[in-house]
């Protein structure tokens, strides 16, 4: 069995555990395979969202779109999107209504859901680690810190909202290399959108992320910000979308696609 087959076997095993009820962040699971953000919307909202994603490709790089009502994806042909993520969020009229580990019943009630699978910056973290750049939330064993910003996305139809970013502290001498490495993954957020000066992004206190966990920033390190696939959740809130299901931050969909597939 080669390395890819082994990774796929651990992806199948992880999805089976989540299907069985396990709830845990997915960072570090099935290393080498791409993880994806998910948002599922009624068919009637699908065009607006697909256009929003096209207009905001750094925040919403689309990896796959399902047929209305379908819960399968080319990114992992045996997977079931209703059950195979560890934790889902349910949104009603732009408000977080519920978190739950199994969305089967919601799919039965909303029969025309279109699911969007969106690239996740976890994909390029392996490359950062291999270049000797510490990925702090991995070394500190927590979720990546994410922040709402003052940067408005380009609106589409009924959808608008601000960009959400993830942050990784990088030593000043390695910032250029971190930018270069991640730029070559445009399908999973690509290069940083902002380097240093959190206040200019509207972030008052980097120790207080809006999603995920705070990480330590050491002397000589610069906070580097990448567009984040949680942006659609901010957009659902800001646009008061009547109904949506998303992954819970950090609780991603593990695909069968190798990270290297998205390397340019």
Binding site for a copy of itself (CB under 8 A): 46-47, 50-51, 54-55, 62, 65, 183-184, 186-187, 190, 264
Kindly list the strands in the beta sheet with 194-195, ordered across the sheet, starting from the edge strand earlier in the chain.
Answer: 146-152, 162-171, 221-227, 194-195
Closer to a copy of itself by CB, 19 or 55: give it.
55
| Rounded-to-integer distance, Cα 121 and Cα 117, Å | 13
| In the complex, minimum distance from the CB of residue 216 to a copy of itself, in angstroms, rounded to a whole number | 31
Name the residue nearer to a copy of itself (CB basis): 32 or 57. 57
| Residue 115 CB, nearest approach to a copy of itself (Å) | 13
From CA 111, how far away is CA 227, in angstroms rounded? Answer: 31
DSSP string, 35-49: EEEEEEEEGGGHHHH
Nearer to a copy of itself, 129 or 187 (CB): 187
Nearer to a copy of itself, 2 or 77 (CB): 77
**CB neighbour burial string for 166-205, b if at least 16 within 10 angstroms, e if fewer:** bbbbbeeebbeebbebbeebbbbbbbbbbbeebeebebee
Query: In the bound complex, what is the minimum distance in angstroms from residue 194's beta carbon to a copy of itself?
Result: 18
d(CA 45, CA 2): 42
Q: Which is nearer to a copy of itself, 71 or 147 (CB)?
A: 71
CB of 64 to a copy of itself, least distance (A): 8
For the bound state, the minimum distance from the C-beta of residue 257 to a copy of itself, rounded and expressed in Å, comes to 14
Q: Which residue, chain included where needed, has tokens 């995920």?
A: 212
User: What is the chain's Cα-based Rg?
Assistant: 17
Q: How far is the CB of 46 from a copy of itself (least distance, A)?
A: 6
- The whole-angstrom separation of Cα 216 and Cα 221 is 10
Residue 166 DSSP code = E
Q: Output 46 or 170, the one with its CB closest to a copy of itself.
A: 46
């Amino acid at each position: 069995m080669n390395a890819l087959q082994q990774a796929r076997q651990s992806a199948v095993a992880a999805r089976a555990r989540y299907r069985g009820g396990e709830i845990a962040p997915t960072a570090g699971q099935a290393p080498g395979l791409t993880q994806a953000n998910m948002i599922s919307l009624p068919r009637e909202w699908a065009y607006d969202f697909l256009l929003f994603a096209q207009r905001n490709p750094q925040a919403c790089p689309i990896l796959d779109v399902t047929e209305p009502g379908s819960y399968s994806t080319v990114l992992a042909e045996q997977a079931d999107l209703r059950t195979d993520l560890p934790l889902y969020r349910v949104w009603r009229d732009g408000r977080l209504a519920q978190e739950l580990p199994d969305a089967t019943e919601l799919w039965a009630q909303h029969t025309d859901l279109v699911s969007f699978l969106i690239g996740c910056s976890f994909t390029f973290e392996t490359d950062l680690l291999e270049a000797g750049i510490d990925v702090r939330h991995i070394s500190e064993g927590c979720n990546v810190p994410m922040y709402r910003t003052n940067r408005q996305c380009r609106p589409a139809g009924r959808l608008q909202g601000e960009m959400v970013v993830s942050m990784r502290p990088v030593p000043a001498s390695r910032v250029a290399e971190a930018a270069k490495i991640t730029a070559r993954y445009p399908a999973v957020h690509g290069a940083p959108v902002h380097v240093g000066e959190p206040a200019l992004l509207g972030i008052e206190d980097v120790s207080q992320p809006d999603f995920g966990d705070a990480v330590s920033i050491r002397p000589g390190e610069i906070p580097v910000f990448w567009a984040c696939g949680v942006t659609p959740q901010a957009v659902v809130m800001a646009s008061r979308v009547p109904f949506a299901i998303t992954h819970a931050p950090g609780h991603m969909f593990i695909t069968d696609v190798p990270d290297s597939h998205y390397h340019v």
